[in-house]
Chain A
Amino acid sequence: MNPRLPRLGALGLVAAVIVLGVAPLSATPYTNLQIALVASYGVAVLGLNLVSGYAGQISLGQSAFFGLGGYAGAIATARGGWPAPLSFLLACLLPAVVGLLIAIPAVRLRGHALAILTLALPLIGVPLAKRYAGLTGGSEGLSAPMAQPPAWSGLDYDQWAYYVVLSVAAVLFLLARNALTGRLGRALSVIRENEVVAASMGISPRRYKALAFTMAAAYGGAGGWLFVYAIGFISPLELDLLLSVSLLSVMIVGGMGSVLGSILGGALYVYIPVVAGTVSPVRTTLLYGAILLLVLFFAPGGLAKAIHRLGHWLGPWLDRVWPRRNGGPPEPGTAATRSEGSVSSMR
């Protein structure tokens, strides 16, 4: 691969960071909120990717973890007065514990059985949330403003929330990426290909799958916390099965098993309804389904893979338009063509 691509990618990332860093100061609260939501859903999709994209397990329960984290944060901070970092920890740990409890029996099951087990989570979670209205605010939901911009920053509520959410999300993404490019990622790849082979290599499929599931739950909870932080409200809708199914869909469309794909997934989740709504408010569902199907038909590896492929095409084109000093494109297989941990490469 053209070694200039990773450098271009890094440059692009720096540019993006600058833009994202400065934008909220002049953008509307609505836009800031949307970008913060992209980040929070992106974290949830990243969690789902851990268990579905990398470990290859179908989980329909991500919304339950998302909602659990959100409610934990909302109740702890808004009702219980906990400081934000503490409630964040709770929002990650509580779903992780639930996830672990479920993972232990679940990893023995095969694909469809696991799907049903995880399906049970939102189906039981929603009625429970509605029932214990005293704690959760019932079907009407709970208002929980958590962001408190400190006086020295001079920022508005939405801007402060934006910075906090994006920073936390960025850290979570980096942590995940490091884990996935290291031992965990490699182990999960082998397990996804063939569990028997993995076991013979000394990689315990059950242990790693349980680990992936627990991490996914924690990330789901973190996403939920970020959601509440950004929007200041939570309701049983955030636990709903519909959210689980949507997260799964945008994960695949964004790009399975890909960190970039998770971000794209979050963006898809937030923006497709917006786009469909502007084209025709009455026909949003129809357009949403059509968009989903179109992407799957024409870019089945997901958008992230399509971008990746674009990179392959971009390299030689770049060489022609802007030749390099040491003359000519390098031969395949030489050191110069090995990718250098670029941002736009996924694994």
Chain B
Amino acid sequence: MGGAAVRAVQQIVDGLATGSIYGALALALVLAYRATGVVNFAQGQMAVVSTFVAWSLTRSGLGVILAVAVAIAISLVFGAAVERLVIRRFERESPLIAVVVTVGLLVFLNGLSALIWGFDIKPFPPIFSTDTVRVGGVAVAIAALGSIAVLVAVVLALHVLMMRTRLGLALRAVADNPDSSALSGLPVGHLLMVGWGLAAGLGALAGCLVASKIYLDPNMLAGVLVYALAAAILGGMDSPLGAVVAAWIIGVTENLAGTYIGFVGNDLRVAVPLSLIVLVLLLRPQGLFGQREVVRV
């Protein structure tokens, strides 16, 4: 393969890998949204706290994979607690107020992480091997392939959970119509907690992937949150598959445009996915995979 083609493939793979991280957080946003109708601006910051917990566990001797697993398990409880204690009160009210509550939570958790762990940058042990592997003549980082593989696995697992298990059916029923589901005997409150717990778990995964790729500090997911939010909305806000596909598209186009379109350069890279989203939303307001809402009087 020629040099330019090789570079292009590498850019695409890199884009998919970055997109996988956006996708994990986007999935978290979508899960939380489907459960309670609230866009959780604090999703990234909750993930940061979980990642710090994983970091602390590695510092006390645990292997990185085990530490991440434990951190994810803890975040399941964390997410459930946040839904029950912080968000529950505001779920039925106007979305704006609930959103601001999540913003307040974001700021609070940001301060809390800085308080407990400090603002200085911390190195996070790598989750995947740092080697590269040759695929069809192109050198590709194992870490990149690993991120993509993790996201694919998560999407499949989520699909099985949602579509083939009783818990998944219950979660979807509550997301569709909580009052009607209660009349069928479903414990709505508990199911909402499960939804947010899963979302927090996904966020923790995303946080650990980012940290192992770059580094760990209280503000590390602020930028990623924007991309994740964009991906979730582009995908249609209530479609997990849509969020992941959108995230991959965003990751790849951002990478390619940043490299190949001179005007964009490095600082305006974010303009690319945003323009894409704007275009799609203008032509298809419900997002790529979302369902059109019918508003009844």
A and B touch in their complex, CB below 8 angstroms: yes
Indicate if the CB atoms of A111 and B270 lie closer than 8 Å. Answer: no
Contact partners of B93 in chain A: CB under 8 A: 300
Indicate if the CB atoms of B104 and A119 lie closer than 8 Å. Answer: no
Chain A 261-289, CB within 8 Å of chain B: the 1/0 string?
Answer: 00000000000000000000011111111
Contact of A108 with B285 at beta-carbon distance under 8 Å, contacts A116-B230, A194-B297 already known: yes
Contact of A112 with B100 at beta-carbon distance under 8 Å, contacts A120-B274, A286-B108 already known: no
Contact of A300 with B97 at beta-carbon distance under 8 Å, contacts A109-B281, A116-B233 already known: yes
Contact partners of B155 in chain A: CB under 8 A: none
Chain B 191-204, CB within 8 Å of chain A: the 1/0 string?
Answer: 00000000000000
Contact partners of B96 in chain A: CB under 8 A: 52, 56, 58, 248, 252, 256
Contacting B268 at CB < 8 Å: which of A56, A116, A127, A296?
A127
Indicate if the CB atoms of A288 and B107 lie closer than 8 Å. Answer: yes
Contact partners of A293 in chain B: CB under 8 A: 86, 101, 104-105, 108
Contacting B287 at CB < 8 Å: which of A113, A195, A252?
A113
Contact partners of A245 in chain B: CB under 8 A: 41, 103
Contact partners of B69 in chain A: CB under 8 A: none
Contact partners of A284 in chain B: CB under 8 A: 111
Indicate if the CB atoms of B233 and A285 lie closer than 8 Å. Answer: no
Contact of A58 with B99 at beta-carbon distance under 8 Å, contacts A119-B226, A124-B270 already known: yes
User: Most chain-A CB neighbours within 10 Å: which of B99, B229, B230?
Assistant: B99
Contacting B97 at CB < 8 Å: which of A105, A194, A252?
A252
A123 on interface, CB distance cutoff 8 Å: yes
Contacting B112 at CB < 8 Å: which of A109, A131, A286?
A286
Contact partners of A197 in chain B: CB under 8 A: 297
B189 on interface, CB distance cutoff 8 Å: no
A189 on interface, CB distance cutoff 8 Å: no
A292 on interface, CB distance cutoff 8 Å: yes
CB neighbors of B among A184-234 (8 A) = 194-197
Distance of A256 from chain B, by nearest CB (Å): 7
CA–CA, A58 and B277, complex, Å: 17
Interface of B: prevailing SS:
helix
Distance of A51 from chain B, by nearest CB (Å): 11
Contact of A116 with B281 at beta-carbon distance under 8 Å, contacts A252-B97, A285-B114 already known: yes
Indicate if the CB atoms of A117 and B278 lie closer than 8 Å. Answer: yes
**Which residue of the partner chain B has the closest CB to A197?**
B297
Contacting B297 at CB < 8 Å: which of A123, A196, A252, A282?
A196
CA–CA, A78 and B172, complex, Å: 58
Chain A 88-124, CB within 8 Å of chain B: the 1/0 string?
Answer: 0000000000000000010011111101110110011
CA–CA, A296 and B94, complex, Å: 13
Indicate if the CB atoms of A123 and B226 lie closer than 8 Å. Answer: yes
A7 on interface, CB distance cutoff 8 Å: no
A297 on interface, CB distance cutoff 8 Å: yes
**Which residue of the partner chain A has the closest CB to B282?**
A105
B295 on interface, CB distance cutoff 8 Å: yes
B237 on interface, CB distance cutoff 8 Å: yes
Indicate if the CB atoms of A109 and B230 lie closer than 8 Å. Answer: no
Distance of A237 from chain B, by nearest CB (Å): 15
Indicate if the CB atoms of A110 and B285 lie closer than 8 Å. Answer: yes
Distance of A172 from chain B, by nearest CB (Å): 23
Contact partners of B287 in chain A: CB under 8 A: 113
* Sample (16) of A-B pairs whose CB atoms are under 8 Å apart: A52-B96, A56-B94, A109-B282, A116-B229, A116-B233, A128-B268, A131-B268, A248-B103, A249-B103, A252-B96, A283-B111, A286-B114, A288-B107, A289-B110, A300-B90, A300-B97
19 further contact pairs, Cβ within 8 A, besides A108-B282, A123-B270, A289-B107: A56-B94, A58-B99, A105-B282, A109-B285, A112-B233, A113-B233, A116-B278, A120-B275, A120-B278, A123-B226, A127-B268, A127-B271, A196-B295, A252-B100, A282-B115, A285-B111, A289-B106, A293-B101, A296-B100
List residues of A whose CB falls within 8 A of some B CB: 52, 56, 58, 105, 108-113, 115-117, 119-120, 123-124, 127-128, 130-131, 194-197, 241, 245, 248-249, 252-253, 256, 282-290, 292-293, 296-297, 300
List residues of B whose CB falls within 8 A of some A CB: 39, 41, 86, 89-90, 93-97, 99-101, 103-112, 114-115, 226, 229-230, 233-234, 237, 267-268, 270-271, 274-275, 277-278, 281-282, 285-287, 293, 295, 297
